[in-house]
Structure formats: structure tokens, C-alpha cells
Amino acid sequence: MIVGSLQIHLHIDAIECLPNANRPRDTIDAMQMAVMSNKPIGIFDSGVGGLSVLRAMRTLLPTEDMLYLADQAHIPYGPRQKADIRAFAHGITEYLLAQGAKLIVVACNTASAAALHDLRAHFPETPFVGMEPALKPAAALTKTGRVGVLATPTTFAGDMYTSLVDRFAQGIQIYQNTCPGLVEQIERGELDTPVTRAILEAALHPMLAEAVDTVVLGCTHYPFVIPLIQEITGPDVHTIDPAPAIARQTRRLLEERGWLNAKQPSGEITFFTSGAVATLAVMLPALLGEIGIVQQLCWVKSKLQTG
């Protein structure tokens, strides 16, 4: 028995000393998966909206380390040109990958609509999870055949949204509203103020008058005002928060690759902002239920650098 044990240890030591070209394929794959599983997930948004996605991911993937980057120097993304949004998304992705991210979650509907296709083409080795308005579940859920969608102008103008309508909303009447000013209200933490209520009432009352019974939230900021939305719509109208589905898709991609981190009791979050550190830090307890140190980043010639 002692000799056999010695032989096993010698065999393992010999494998560990082999260059990659001479290692057994299964051994190399296992080593690579072990390295990748310990890397963090990168998540980005124009501001605090992506915290709604991060919150869902913390619930479903509590052992994963995560990097959250808020591009608050450029918020809001909604009114900006697609080319600018693509440039921001590329710079952010490069920064997160340089920090070791194994997967990128584009926790912003506007950035997903404008840049997700480009990101996948430019970073083919990196898995991406993007946001899309939840029209498929809304079409299955509605009883009246009338669905409201709250999203930004860029999301509504994107090919992704058009494709979703064509594929899943045939025979469904869609009512759209861009909720001007709502993102800025949420960024300021004004989740239930007269101004925020007025913006939502202006969007929702016309939809309710048309017998809309399902409301899709097409911006990651909007889940933070679900209580106010439900006050306005009443209990008979469904509100669809996309964040849990994004968390499930992230877990599926990690499971497929063997990249899930199951070795630690609780993952850590590192926060970054290209805006004012205090602006993000003060919102974390209310929106995420956690506190954290926020690191300052600055844009220098289309690249992010530590400030």
C-alpha cells in the first residue's frame, strides 16, 4: 500500500512538471477551469441601475467575486449616439478584462442595444450577458393582449428590440414610453418623490387607459421604483423585472464552462465609478443593501484609468 501511494504521488508530480504541450488534455482543462473559476464577474452600467442586476446575482451566485463599474461620467446613456455608447462599452470591457473578469454582464439595456453585438465580435473569447426587454414572458403573461414597455430611446430604436417584437409579440399591442428624467431621479436616490411619481404617472396612466395588464421594465434603473409603479398600476397589472433572468443566464454560462466558484463562503464586490465616488457609495446601502469601497476611474483618450 505504501509503495502504491508513492507511485501515485510520483505520477502526479511528474504531470505537474510537464510543459502544457505534454500534459494530458483532461489535466490542462481541469487546471484552466480552476483558474477561471476563481476570477471575478465583470458588470457595468451607466450608473446605479445595474445594481438591480448585481443584487439578483448576489442572491443566485453568492460565492462569486464581482466587479461593478458605473460609468457615471457619461450618464445617462439613453439620449447619446450609438457610436459613443459603443466606445464607452469597449473601454469599460477592456478595463474589466484587465482586472481579470471571466465574464461580462452588460447590465444596461441601452448599452446592450447599442454595443452588445460589437462587443461579442471584438472580444470573441469572452462570454457576454446582455439585457433585452422581456417581451417573450410578457406576451405569455398578458390576458388582455396589451403590454406596456418602459425603456430608453436607444433601446426602442435598436435592432434587438425590433427582433423581439417580431418574434414574440405578434398579435400583441405594445405601448411604449421613454420616461424622460426617470433615470436621473433614480441616480439621485429619489425613488418615491412627487417628481418621480409624476414621470411614472405620465407614462403609465395612458397605458392603463388602454387596458395594459403587463409592464416590461426595459431599463435596469427601473426595478428600483417597482413599489411606486405598483402603487400606480394596482395589483392586477404585472411588472416584469429582468434582473433574475440575467442572473440565471450568467449562472448557466458559468456552469457550461465549469467556471462556477464554489470554494469560498461569500464573494467580494469591488466597485468602480468614472463619476464622483461619493455619489455611488452613498447609494449602495439603499439600492444594494451592502456597503463597499468605491474606486475612482477616469477616462483618458477613450480608455479608463485609475484616478
Per-residue model confidence as pLDDT tens digits over 165-196: 999 999 999 999 999 999 999 999 999 999 99
Q: Based on the fold, state whether residues 45 and 83 are members of the same structural domain.
A: yes
219 is catalytic: yes
From CA 75, how far away is CA 227, in angstroms rounded?
A: 24
Q: Based on the fold, state whether residues 82 and 114 are members of the same structural domain.
A: yes
CATH label of the domain that carries residue 70: 3.40.50.1860
From CA 132, how far away is CA 242, in angstroms rounded?
A: 8
Per-residue model confidence as pLDDT tens digits over 15-54: 444 455 555 566 656 677 778 888 999 999 999 999 999 9
Confidence tier at 307 by pLDDT (50, 70, 90): confident
Mean pLDDT of the chain: 90
Q: Based on the fold, state whether residues 127 and 250 are members of the same structural domain.
A: yes
Per-residue model confidence as pLDDT tens digits over 262-278: 776 789 999 999 999 99
Q: Based on the fold, state whether residues 266 and 120 are members of the same structural domain.
A: yes
pLDDT the model gives residue 262? 78
Q: Based on the fold, state whether residues 159 and 236 are members of the same structural domain.
A: yes
Phi and psi (nearest 5°) for 18? Answer: -75, 140
Which residue among 17, 179, 219, 298 is the active-site one?
219
Give the number of domains in the chain: 3
H or E segment to which residue 150 belongs: strand 146-151
Q: Based on the fold, state whether residues 203 and 179 are members of the same structural domain.
A: yes
Cis ω for the linkage preceding 76 (within 30 of 0): yes
Q: Based on the fold, state whether residues 125 and 249 are members of the same structural domain.
A: yes
**Cβ–Cβ < 8 Å for 165, 157:** no
Pick left, alpha or beta for residue 67 (phi over 0 → left; psi -120 to 50 → alpha; otherwise beta).
Answer: beta
Per-residue model confidence as pLDDT tens digits over 198-208: 999 999 999 99
Residues 133-145 have a mean pLDDT of 95
17 is catalytic: no
